[in-house]
Amino acid sequence: MISLFPYDRISLATLGSALLAALASWSSVGPNVAPLRGAAPDDFVTAGGWINGTPSGARGNFGLKAGVDSTGAFIGSLNFVDHDEQLHVKSESITSYTVVDATTRTFTGTARIDGVAGTFTVTVSDAGEPGTADTFEITLSTGYTASGTLQGGNVQLHAP
């Protein structure tokens, strides 16, 4: 038994169970703050380039930075253009950032999609230097998706 206050006693097992339950139920500690599991502070990715994996096969250009800063807040921006669809996505906020594996990161956010409010999910992989096997994938709340191996450019992971 441990004493938290002069008149309160709680067993370590009870305290541990309550703490584990609370941690399991919290996906974040507030808006734009990193989840308790996943990315460490100062983990981020930068990328720029183009893919041919758009619905029409036309070039899709992108530039991005996303991650978690030293305080645990999500940071970043995304800009994506599908030239054939004349689609332009410009992020407004990054709402999550997840370490998928040693070379892959997924992040989500809010954006203006051709000027209209929407959301996005992006997954990038830093699979070769410089950019030889890197991949980019985007899914929009409109149902639009594009993905592929970079035809030019680079994804660079900056892990702590």
- Domain borders along the chain are 44-158
Q: What does the pLDDT profile of the chain (160 residues) look like in tens digits?
A: 444 434 344 333 433 333 333 333 333 334 444 443 456 788 999 999 999 999 999 999 999 999 999 888 999 999 999 999 999 999 999 999 999 999 999 999 999 999 999 999 999 999 988 878 999 999 999 999 999 999 999 999 998 8
- What is the Cα–Cα distance from 145 to 103, expressed in whole angstroms? 21
Say what the pLDDT of residue 68 is. 93
Name the token pair of 87. Answer: 């689609």
Separation CA 27–CA 36 (nearest Å): 7
Assess contact for 110 and 119: CB atoms under 8 A: yes
Report how far residue 31's alpha carbon sits from residue 95's, in angstroms, rounded to the nearest whole number: 8
Tokens 């009870």 label which residue?
A: 14
Distance CA 13, CA 27 (A): 23
Measure the CA–CA gap between 2 and 10, rounded to whole angstroms.
6
What residues does 105 pair with on adjacent strands?
99, 124
Side-chain-side CA neighbours of residue 11 (13 Å): 3
Give CA torsion, residues 143, 147, 152, 158, to 10 deg. 100
